[in-house]
Structure 1
Amino acid sequence: MYELLEKTSEDDYDTDVDLEGKPGETITEEQVYRKACEDVGVSPISYYIRHHHDVHLNLNYRCMSPKAVKALSIALVVNSGNKLKSKDAAYFADTLSVTTNESLEKLNLRWNQIQTEGAVALSAGLRMNVTLKVLDVSYNGFGNEGVLAMGETLKFNNTLLELRLDTNHINNEGVTMLCKGMDINDNVKLLCLSNNPITVDGALRLLEVVRKNDKSNLETIRLKNVLVNETFMELLKNITHDHPQFQIETKGIGGSIVGSQPGRTDPMKVIQDYLDKRKLRLSDFFRNMDKVGNMSVPVSDFRKALQQFNIPLDLVQVEELLSKLDHDNTGAIDYRFTLPQEP
């Protein structure tokens, strides 16, 4: 029987399974799943059967057993918060390594308990996978050994576009290990490493990937808890000259470093002066970026607007400004401060 810790409704699970197909008949995804359930000895989840054609399949917080994970892993797209353990990750590794799998493009394993052993298993499966484009393994305790395995995988995998490794106990040493793979990789566009014990030294090593690897496809690195310095910003300035599409998101520049440069113009005043010359209001500048109308603008859109309008801010000023406008590091700017204050 299906080993379940928490059952939401009787409708979620079936026991009557018809697995026999006719000779020459094309095998469907549902039949593959049902056969997998039979092989591992669990009952199929009828919710999955009803929704397996959805673009995103959400099976959050179902506390699946290892056998249930194995049966689902072939077509699994989103599986966040299911309390997966290291041994469960090995099942995903088997699935990821099957190069004939043409459906699995996005795998979300946030908030599980994969840890180092599971990270090694997943990395091994990912090495030869040819379909997966997005992998989110944030909050899983990979550690440096786990990210070492991922770095080795990145030397071989040529399809992964987004890799999210936030909150995984990865320090500067782990970053160095990961970068050995990134030094060779030419497909990853987005790399997320926020909320790890990484310092500016680790951030500098990541910049070296873009500087040294001519084939690097990196467009965005996220290190939202890392304070950087002038050395970092100078290297970033040189890199963006040759790679204008590249950006790295950090917590900002250390206050003492910014303050050490006398005569620096307040970046918000630079924007205000630019708009005043064109008879534009600051509130309208932000409102034009607010596609939702909730008085909030994504930091990424704000960066793009600065470039599109050719506002004369250097990289140091931009980071200094963002550290104030998004001081809580939410990835969004609340621009209510630009509106006229009531008396």
Structure 2
Amino acid sequence: MDPRDAEERPARGQEVDSGDETDNGTGQKHRSPPAEWYLEACRWTGCAPVSSYLRQLGEANLDLNHYGVGRLGAKALAVSLRRDNAVTNLELEDNALQAEGTRYLTEMLQINESIESLNLSNNQLHLEGAQIISKMLSITCNITTLKLSGNHFDDSAAKYLADALKVDYIVKELDLSHNNIFDAGGEHLGHMLASNAGIRVLDLTWNHLGTRTAAALGAALKVNWTLQQLQLAWNGLGPAGAQSLGEALEQNSTLVLLDLSRNLVDDRAAALLGQGLATNAALGVLRLSRNPLTTIGARSLLRAVTENPNSALKEMDVSTVFVCETFVELLEEARQRRPGLDVRHSVMSSVTRNISALRIFHKFFKERNESIMDFFRSLDEKGTKKVPTSVFRKAVKEANVPLDRRQIEWLIKKFDEKCTCSIVYSQFAEPS
């Protein structure tokens, strides 16, 4: 036994279990072979068995997240999994595996060909762990989903992984969120995407990525026809980064989800991004919450989408933007043509009240079987086809239309958009 093994005690969350036992009718208990293999490996390594593993024997999904497996527990588990062909998804998040425990698992994966999904998030892997995983990817493995979130990976770790993935087309989903990757590492990942024909989903949420990474990713999207989801929330791409991605969207035809939440995307950046949306026919989900956007930027994005007849956008998240009346009106118009469009936004009660003013105005005359055009004509004594706003204001109050002062002023502003102090009522048609 390795001398270091004797120093390690069973980690918190590990429970001793007798294994998968059956009664042969004589009162004697017999464990199944997989259970016996695992318990023998635990005795050999000196770690306590994890009862949850024994309970999940034979299942395709092995969930050991947050069980405190530790590096020796990983060694015992790796020994057992060498001969376990039932498991296809191995969940080991938050188990203090460290680089040593990860090495045991990667060696096992060179033999076990059934495991396709591996979650090693939050296991204190650091650079050494990234090197071990990169070596596994460079040699051979069947892992298609690889989750490595929260492992303190830096730019050097990102480079190791990127270099390995340049020749690995097996991995389809890669999660590197919540790490310490800056632009140097981000550029390596971007360059990797330009040559990788396998990855479908890339999650780089909550790193320290900036404009250089965005430029590399943008360049990759122009030649990469496999990536479908790119998650970049909680970074610092800024306007220049939005421009790079906007330009990429003009050419890319495979990306269906782009998450740019909290990336310093302002109104100018939104306009740059909108240039790509104006022609893109693939993107279905765009997330932009928690950015310094105003209703101006949100409106430019919505207009780019609505004016693009080939747009595939179904969901846009600008939920932290308090929009104005013109945005709401544009959205209502867009939904008439595309009922499935979901745009998450915030709206103040005053905006909702103003938007309802026009509907109340029309409803008031409809309930009285009166024509709005007749109402305007009655105010147009000289037949000029227009009515002074002061006359309109007074007439609405006298008719007891249920509108407050702010709603009336909003109506006037809407009817007299050029601020001429008169309403050309011939431009309005009765609502259907």
Deviations 1:249-298 (A, max 9, x none): 012x2222223446989xxxxxxxxxxxxxxxxxxxxxxxxxxxxxxxxx
Which residue matches 2:219?
Answer: 124
Q: Does 1:176 align with 2:265?
A: no
Q: Would you say the 8 A contact 2:131–2:160 is kept in 1?
A: no
Q: Does 1:97 align with 2:187?
A: no
SS at match of 1:223: strand
1:68: Cα distance to partner?
A: 2.9
Q: Does 1:77 align with 2:174?
A: yes
Distance 2:302 2:193 in 1: 29
Which residue matches 2:62?
Answer: none
Which residue matches 1:144?
Answer: 239
Distance 1:152 1:263 in 2: 39
Q: Would you say the 8 A contact 2:174–2:199 is kept in 1?
A: yes
Count matched residues: 233
Q: Which amino acid aligns with 2:133?
A: I
SS at match of 1:198: coil
Q: Does 1:254 align with 2:358?
A: no
Gaps of 5+ in 2: 1-95, 108-115, 117-129, 166-170, 361-432
Q: Would you say the 8 A contact 2:245–2:273 is kept in 1?
A: yes
TM-score by length of 1: 0.62
Which residue matches 2:25?
Answer: none
SS at match of 1:169: coil
Identity within the alignment, %: 29
Q: Would you say the 8 A contact 1:80–1:110 is kept in 2?
A: yes
Which residue matches 2:153?
Answer: 64
Q: Would you say the 8 A contact 2:225–2:253 is kept in 1?
A: yes
1:248: Cα distance to partner?
A: 0.3
Q: Would you say the 8 A contact 1:7–1:62 is kept in 2?
A: no
Structure number with greater Rg is 2
Which residue matches 1:323?
Answer: none
Q: Which amino acid aligns with 2:102?
A: D
Q: Does 1:11 align with 2:101?
A: yes
1:113-262 pair list within 5 angstroms: 113-251=208-346, 253-260=347-354, 261=356
Deviations 1:122-177 (A, max 9, x none): 21122211110000001110010111111111111110000000000111110000
Distance 2:338 2:136 in 1: 43
TM-score by length of 2: 0.50
Q: Would you say the 8 A contact 1:89–1:118 is kept in 2?
A: yes
Q: Would you say the 8 A contact 1:13–1:46 is kept in 2?
A: no
Distance 1:168 1:52 in 2: 35
Distance 1:231 1:51 in 2: 56
Deviations 1:91-110 (A, max 9, x none): 11221111xx3420000000
Distance 1:70 1:106 in 2: 18
Which residue matches 1:340?
Answer: none
Q: Which amino acid aligns with 2:350?
A: S
Gaps of 5+ in 1: 1-5, 18-28, 30-41, 266-343
Distance 2:187 2:194 in 1: 11
Of 44, 64, 69, 2:132 maps to 44
SS at match of 1:57: strand
Q: Which amino acid aligns with 1:62?
A: N
Higher RCO by CA contacts (8 Å cutoff, separation 6 or greater) = 1
Provide the alpha-carbon RMSD of the alignment.
2.9
Q: Would you say the 8 A contact 1:92–1:125 is kept in 2?
A: no
1:26-37 pair list within 5 angstroms: none
1:54: Cα distance to partner?
A: 4.5
Q: Would you say the 8 A contact 2:210–2:235 is kept in 1?
A: yes
Distance 2:359 2:231 in 1: 40
Q: Which amino acid aligns with 1:210?
A: V
State which drifts further: 232-241 or 169-178: 232-241
Q: Which amino acid aligns with 1:12?
A: T
1:244: Cα distance to partner?
A: 1.4
Q: Would you say the 8 A contact 1:209–1:216 is kept in 2?
A: no
Of 170, 174, 184, 1:87 maps to 184
Which residue matches 2:420?
Answer: none
Distance 2:175 2:323 in 1: 34
Deviations 1:208-247 (A, max 9, x none): 1222111111111001101122221211111111111211
Distance 1:46 1:173 in 2: 39
1:47 to 1:160, Cα distance in 2 relative to 1, 3 A: same
1:44: Cα distance to partner?
A: 2.2
Q: Which amino acid aligns with 2:271?
A: T
